[in-house]
Structure 1
Amino acid sequence: MRERAGIRWGAAVLAALGVAAGSLAGASAAGADGGLPLDNVEHLARGVDYGQFTVTGGHGPVHGHVISVDLADPGVRADLLTPGAVGARGTVSAMADARHAVGGVNGDFFDITETQHPGVDPTGSSDGPEIGAGRDLKAAVPDAQRFGPAMPPGETTRDVLGVGVDRRARLDRLDLAGDIRTAQGDWALGGYNQYALPVGGIGAYTAGWGAASRERAVCGSDTSRAAGCSTDTYEVAVRHGRVAAEADTAGSGAIAADTTVLLGRDAGADTLRALHVGDRVQVGAHLEPSATHVPYAFAVGGFPILRDGQPPAGLDAVTAATRTAAGFGDGGRVLYLLALDGSAESNAGLTIAELSTVMHELGADDAVNLDGGGSTTLVTRGPDDAASVVRNHPTGGAERPVANGIGIFAGPR
């Protein structure tokens, strides 16, 4: 390992990942210790550093940007960046500035367009689970309803990268555990603040969802995002533990802090029709991790591209694109955020398999792929900066509003 700006930048070996000779020329020429060389390293704050790199992938040279974060430093933390609602979008720089973050990248893939459902507005909501400031904000949509490239076999929209209250980063899977309890019976909850519900399911929506229409939640199916919208829907508003209103269609507009809206489609709609104004209803929902009993301070959706130093089987080794990734090393104590420059500056990009290798070369043992292309954005805010600075060159020349991001917070150096 070599020391760079107080953070241990990794020293991985390309051969360990089975990367073809010459596919990452910049990394393979890194020097005696085999790690990825970084240029223009800057200290953003105590425990937080920024650097740049150039590698040559199978499609040509690629320039990238990295923030390294020492999570073992008690003055440093990571958290979810949001635009203020689950069903909304904001630029990474605006979300970072609103929280006075010293750095950040864009997060999960999200509901960006509804061309397959004419007349239905996209919600801007992310594919996967969200935990921010220790609060469960949303659950994952069904796998077939996600936006983004194909996931490796065995992965799911429930996969996340998160940091626990013990200040260690982990890969995990967050499942929705929830129920609806009524005098008529108890029913399982099939969704929580998410843009797509399973067929026959019931979803709960809270003030955290925002004002976006819930119509998209009843579109698509468990096997196709493009499937039509259900016409068999029913919605119930629960206020202070009692049914306050009913409707035959999915609604929109802000939800009051004391209210939970239950939306059912197909068989779920039939279930909700058993309720009437004045009936008592209790709704419970939380995200249940599969890999730890340590509560998460934050978590963001993304599919794994590196586990225990090895790439999962089936990573795309053909399609090159502008990419964003997050990963961690040193037992979860060091976090790495990566973003590539957009296609306007380099028509090359990296395949997901190459991205996995770069993350390992940086020092990550585990990593996830995040939203890329026009969403890819990395920002920093150094001691002398009045606002966040976009360090990569976003595709199209400007930031795209996104669903969420990963923010880094630290005291002055």
Structure 2
Amino acid sequence: MRTRTVAVATASALTVALGSSLLAAGAEPGTGPGNGPGSGTSAASLFGGSLPLSTEPVTTTVAPGVTVTALELGRKDADDVWTVHVYLPGSPDGPLATANTALGERAIADRVFAAVAAAGFEPRLQAVERPEFADYPGGLLGWTVRVGRYPTEAEARSTLNRLRAAGFTGGTRYTAQDGTDPRAPQRVHVMRIDFDEFSGTVDTDFGPALNGTETLTDLIDATGALAGVNAQWFYNKAPGGLYVVDGKLIGSATQGRGAVRIERGGRRLDVDAYTASVTVHVRGASMPVDGVNRLPGEIWNCGGLGGDQPTEHPQHDLKCTDDSELVRFTPDWGPATPAGPGVEAVLDARGTVLAVHETRGTTFPAGGSTLQATGELADRLRAGVAVGDRLRIVEDVRDSRGRRVPLTRDTTILQVGPTLVDDGEVFVNGYADGLVREGADQTFTYNWAVRSNPRSMIGMDGEGRLMLVVVDGRQAGVSEGLSVEAAAELMHLLGAEEAMNLDGGGSSVMATAEDGILNRPSDASGQRSLGNVVLVRP
């Protein structure tokens, strides 16, 4: 029988409820105890070792052993203003009227600063620092040019329009979302699943097909789940990254990127970096598979096999390309495979080749799969297999130590990232996870990792309780969101021994079957349709 209680918890009671959390109502930054993990990223670097509660937390019981605690942190102050962010060209002599980078080298910023000043405005230069990641040093990320400080966005937009008329490009920014203010307003929802009391499970799910999206509330309704949050990134309407469900590998790996491994129905959780290989063996020869259940030639987040352009290193939210690929499709994808030029071999449930088509796009036989090939690999697949051949497909998933991961029915892997907490220490693998951009333009790193955004996280505390956490963002004066560094520190202060970042931004959502959406998604239209989710099931 589902029970439901609401309690207002004091800060000290909340500390007990959340385990080894460090929470202090109204505490000034820096006054709480700090924890300096060996990764070089200090858990006390932003919040000062304690979270600045602005109101008393409220805890709701969803089911025995499942609670949600709503936290409000920080508050709006006089330094939180609207400003105009002037975009920079990508090179020192690039055109100003079509500039589209948020920050750049000092020489470029100086040129824009001088030009804006000459046009009659009063610009200011600001240096942006990149935090120290566990696998990449901190330092100067670049320089920005900004104009004005305004109490409303409308006033900032008026100045932006005048700047555009003068031949510049840019946008409005709210300074509390720069990711550097420990007391910026935040609204946080922390779901705890205590398996000493809760007899259900925590795992992942998606809609009727990988090739399609569903809202979290629809998936909760369809599955009878108690609650859930969003999970992986999704591209071309399908989850991106290594995705293992009940021991089945149904999503391609971004090689070496962080992932969360869930076993025993959520009672065991570990974060690590993973690689995966899928190999087809036939007639004494073997062929490596480039991807599983994704469009051939489009490698979102990069980190694929040989031939990908412009890089084989993970680069989050960047689409790499390869005109010669072998991609496996399973019925999880949907009723039919993507159509297009190339060759497609159709396999039955035992791996026997039923047909070899001279174009891509077909339906699945019962329990079967297909192999699609493009470019040079289309010729190789055509020559290498024939109707009646028996193919052996070998899957191999490895952790960061090179150890093989058994893919049992108890295994779920969601490749998301970056890692936030590992073995009780703040540990953000920013470079390996593709947060550090290759090349001169660091706009992505600035906007995605350094600035504040809505975030969703998963973790496990020292008492073995699983945590699902959502922080609202992009809501000026209400909830600004967190930088990646601050998200890691938040999870550490909430007691996480292991924690991983999930998809965020407009995808960040938490809901229960009884109350619906608990947070406030940042998209104006409300909750997004998602590629997959994490569900708490009775």
Scaled to the shorter chain, the TM-score interval is 0.7 to 0.9
Alpha-carbon separation, structure 2, partners of 1:262 and 1:90: 27
- 1:164-195 CA distances to partner (integer Å, 9 max, x unpaired)? 13831111344334332322623233322234
3-state DSSP of counterpart to 1:87: coil
Asked if residue 171 in structure 1 is aligned to residue 283 in structure 2, the reply is no
Match of 1:210 among 305, 329, 334: 334
**Structure 1 residue 72: Cα displacement:** 4.7
CA distance in 2: counterparts of 1:26 and 1:187, whole angstroms: 51
2: CA distance, partners of 1:279 / 1:242: 6
Alpha-carbon distance in structure 2 between the residues aligned to 1:270 and 1:96: 45
Identify if the C-alpha distance between structure 1 residues 10 and 128 changes in structure 2 by more than 3 Å, giving closer, same or farther.
Answer: farther
When residues 88 and 366 of structure 1 are mapped into structure 2, their CA distance, relative to the original with a 3 A threshold, is same
**Contact 1:201–1:265 (8 Å) recurs in 2:** yes
**1:230-279 deviations in Å (ceiling 9; x for gaps):** x6x32111235432233343326x52333211012333222201145523
Find the counterpart in structure 2 of residue 301 from structure 1: 415
Task: Note the C-alpha offset of 1:212.
Answer: 6.3
Preserved CA contact (<8 Å) 1:191 1:204: yes
Q: Tell me, what secondary structure is at the counterpart of 2:208?
A: coil
Match of 2:426 in 1: 310
8 Å Cα contact 1:27-1:358 kept in structure 2: no
Q: Whole-Å Cα distance in 1 between the matches of residues 382 and 391 of structure 2?
A: 16
- Alpha-carbon separation, structure 2, partners of 1:364 and 1:81: 24
Residue in structure 1 matching 2:47, options 17, 20, 24: 24
Q: Which amino acid aligns with 1:305?
A: L
Match of 2:248 in 1: 136
User: Which amino acid in the other structure matches residue 140 of structure 1?
Assistant: S
Residue correspondences, number: 357
Is residue 245 of structure 1 aligned with residue 355 of structure 2? yes
Q: Is the 8 A contact 2:373 2:381 kept in 1?
A: yes
Aligned counterpart, 1:403: 531
CA contact (8 A) 2:262 2:412 kept: yes
The answer to whether the aligner puts 1:334 opposite 2:465 as a matched pair is: yes
Whether the 8 Å CA contact 2:253–2:276 is kept in 1: the answer is no
Map 1:97-116 onto structure 2 (within 5 A).
97-111=221-235
| Cα deviations by residue, 1:348-386 (Å, 9 ceiling, x for unpaired) | 2110100111111111122111111111110123xxx2x
> TM-score by structure 2 length?
0.59
Give the aligned partner of residue 152 of structure 1. Answer: none
Structure 2 counterpart of 1:228:
none
Q: Which amino acid aligns with 2:535?
A: G
Distance in 1 between residues matched to 2:221 and 2:395, nearest whole Å: 29
Q: Is the 8 A contact 1:176 1:191 kept in 2?
A: no
Unaligned 5+ residue runs, structure 1?
31-35, 112-121, 144-154, 217-230
Quote the residue 2:138 is aligned against. none
Question: What percent identity do the matched residue pairs reach?
Answer: 21
TM-score (normalised: structure 1): 0.76
> Does the aligned pair in 2 maintain the 1:89–1:404 contact within 8 Å?
yes
Q: 1: CA distance between counterparts of 2:243 and 2:357?
A: 28
> In the alignment, which residue of structure 1 is the partner of 2:63?
45
Partners of 1:2 and 1:249 lie apart in 2 by 65
What is the identity, as a one-letter code, of the residue corresponding to 2:47?
Answer: L
Which residue, 55, 58, 65 being the options, matches 2:180? 58
Deviation string, structure 1 residues 367-407 (Cα, Å, up to 9, x no partner): 111111111110123xxx2xx61001111241100101111
User: Kindly tell me: are residues 406 and 2 of structure 1, through their superposed partners in 2, closer, same or farther at Cα, counting changes over 3 Å?
Assistant: farther
The alpha-carbon deviation at position 86 of structure 1 amounts to: 1.9
Report the 3-state secondary structure (helix = DSSP H, G, I; strand = E; otherwise coil) of the residue aligned with 1:281.
coil
Q: 1:106 Cα deviation (Å)?
A: 0.2
SS state of the match for residue 11, structure 1?
Answer: coil
Corresponding letter in the other structure for 1:238: L
One-letter amino acid of the structure 2 residue matched with residue 401 of structure 1: S
Whether the 8 Å CA contact 2:202–2:535 is kept in 1: the answer is yes
Contact 1:2 1:8 in 2 (8 A): no
Deviation (angstroms), 1:39: 1.5
In the alignment, which of 142, 145, 162 is matched to residue 261 of structure 2? 162
Farther-moved stretch of structure 1 (185-194 vs 74-83): 185-194
Question: How much does 1:215 deviate?
Answer: 5.5
Report the CA distance shift for 1:338/1:48 in structure 2 as closer, same or farther (over 3 A). same
Query: Quick one: distance in 2 between partners of 1:175 and 1:268?
Result: 22
1:6-56 residue CA offsets vs partner (Å, 9 max, x unmatched): 9543325545352676x43794446xxxxx997210111122110111234
Contact 2:210 2:531 in 1 (8 A): yes
- Measure the CA separation in 1 of the matches of 2:407 and 2:247: 14
Determine which of 450, 453, 461 is the counterpart of 1:321: 453
Which amino acid is 1:300 matched to?
L
- Of 399-408 and 171-180, deviating more is 171-180
Indicate the residue corresponding to 2:518 in structure 1: 391
Unmatched tracts of structure 2, length 5 or more: 1-10, 23-32, 75-178, 300-304, 306-321, 436-444
* Residues 1:188 and 2:288 are matched in the alignment: yes
Q: Secondary structure at the match of 2:69?
A: strand
Amino acid in the other structure paired with 1:24: F
CA displacement 1:266-324 (0-9 Å, x = unmatched)? 33222201145523132424352426658444222211122222233647662111111
Determine if contact 2:329/2:371 at 8 Å carries over to the other structure.
yes
| CA-atom RMSD in angstroms | 3.2
